[in-house]
């Protein structure tokens, strides 16, 4: 009765404690995990590992040098993984999936200590897979159609992507995301390690704009770096796969089936 009344807006919505079942499930899961851990003699612990990019480290030359990829993946990305694992040893987030960790750790704009490492691990993994040797150019089929629908033309999208990337002040990322509410593709910039996952959207492709991503190859010339990425490195194949998955969660309307 109270729930019905609150749905009509008559009463204020009940506090979280009114839904004990959800919270109980969460804490049971944690208790079970902790219980398991104390029952066994040999503790089984699981932490995050570093996934190798789906291409050789020199495959992105000449647009991203082997040296940059070696450092960026082998040192920066590795450090985020190691840092996260170190934090998880004593954190309540142990056992969470990376996506859960990012969403909870973001804490509505007041990120918890584990957030930065977790988000950067995810962001960089997403980044390596957003690229492909000898790629770039423009997409085809459904992705191109959606881009033309949401940006007007591929050229418009490309301009907006480059402009957005150059307008970011400081460190961060530029993303092509599928917005859940607006049900369209959009270019967004995020500062430092902020992830669109934490903001509720579906990431489709990203580009690292932290200086370590391009300084060795391009020095201060961010424009050249972004242009080379969008023209030669972005993997539209991966974008298509991610769009397909995204469409399972966001209704982009009826498909255009040609009539015979």
Partner 1 sequence: MALRTLISGKTLAAAALGGARTLAAARGVATVALPDLPYDYGALEPAISGEIMRLHHQKHHAAYVANYNKALEQLDAAVTKGDATTVVQLQSAIKFNGGGHINHSIFWKNLKPISEGGGESPHQKLGWAIDEDFGSFEALLKKMNAEGAALQGSGWVWLALDKEAKKLSVETTANQDPLVTKGVNLVPLLGIDVWEHAYYLQYKNVRPDYLSNIWKVINWKYAGEVYENAVA
In the complex, which residues of this chain contact partner 1 (CB under 8 A)?
Answer: 71, 75-76, 79, 116, 169-172, 191-193, 210-212, 215-216, 219-220
- Sequence-distant (6+) residues with CB within 8 A of 168 are 174, 189, 191, 209
Of 100 and 220, which has the nearer Cβ to partner 1? 220
157 is written with which tokens?
């999208």
Measure the CA–CA gap between 219 and 88, rounded to whole angstroms: 35
Closest approach, Cβ 215 to partner 1, in A, equals 5
- Sequence-distant (6+) residues with CB within 8 A of 192 are 116, 170, 171, 172
Measure the CA–CA gap between 5 and 10, rounded to whole angstroms: 6
Of 119 and 204, which has the nearer Cβ to partner 1? 119
Do 107 and 215 contact (CB within 8 A), yes or no?
Answer: no
Of 68 and 135, which has the nearer Cβ to partner 1? 68
Closest approach, Cβ 85 to partner 1, in A, equals 18
Of 46 and 167, which has the nearer Cβ to partner 1? 167
Phi/psi class of residue 183: alpha, beta or left (left: φ > 0; alpha: ψ in -120 to 50)? left
Closest approach, Cβ 191 to partner 1, in A, equals 7
Closest approach, Cβ 207 to partner 1, in A, equals 16
Measure the CA–CA gap between 77 and 197, rounded to whole angstroms: 19
Of 88 and 143, which has the nearer Cβ to partner 1? 88
- Sequence-distant (6+) residues with CB within 8 A of 128 are 51, 53, 54, 73
Closest approach, Cβ 152 to partner 1, in A, equals 23
Closest approach, Cβ 249 to partner 1, in A, equals 30
Of 53 and 172, which has the nearer Cβ to partner 1? 172
């Amino acid at each position: 009765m109270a729930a019905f009344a609150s749905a009509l807006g008559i009463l204020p919505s009940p506090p979280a404690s009114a839904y004990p079942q959800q919270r109980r499930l969460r804490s049971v899961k944690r208790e079970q995990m902790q219980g398991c851990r104390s029952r066994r003699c040999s503790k089984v612990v699981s932490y995050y590992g570093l996934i190798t990019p789906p291409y050789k480290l020199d495959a992105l030359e000449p647009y991203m040098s082997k040296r940059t990829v070696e450092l960026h993946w082998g040192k920066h990305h590795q450090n985020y993984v190691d840092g996260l694992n170190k934090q998880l040893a004593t954190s309540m987030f142990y056992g969470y999936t990376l996506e859960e960790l990012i969403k909870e750790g973001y804490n509505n704009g007041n990120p918890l200590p584990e957030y930065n490492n977790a988000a950067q691990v995810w962001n960089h993994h997403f980044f390596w897979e957003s690229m492909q040797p000898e790629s770039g150019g423009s997409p085809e089929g459904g992705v191109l159609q959606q881009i033309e629908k949401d940006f007007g033309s591929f050229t418009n999208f490309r301009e907006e992507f480059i402009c957005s990337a150059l307008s970011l002040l400081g460190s961060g990322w530029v993303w092509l995301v599928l917005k859940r509410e607006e049900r369209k593709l959009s270019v967004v910039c995020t500062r430092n390690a902020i992830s669109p996952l934490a903001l509720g959207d579906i990431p489709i492709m990203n580009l690292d704009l932290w200086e370590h991503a391009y300084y060795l190859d391009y020095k201060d010339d961010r424009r050249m770096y972004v242009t080379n990425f969008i023209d030669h490195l972005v993997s539209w194949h991966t974008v298509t796969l991610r769009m397909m998955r995204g469409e399972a969660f966001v209704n982009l309307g009826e498909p255009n089936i040609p009539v015979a």
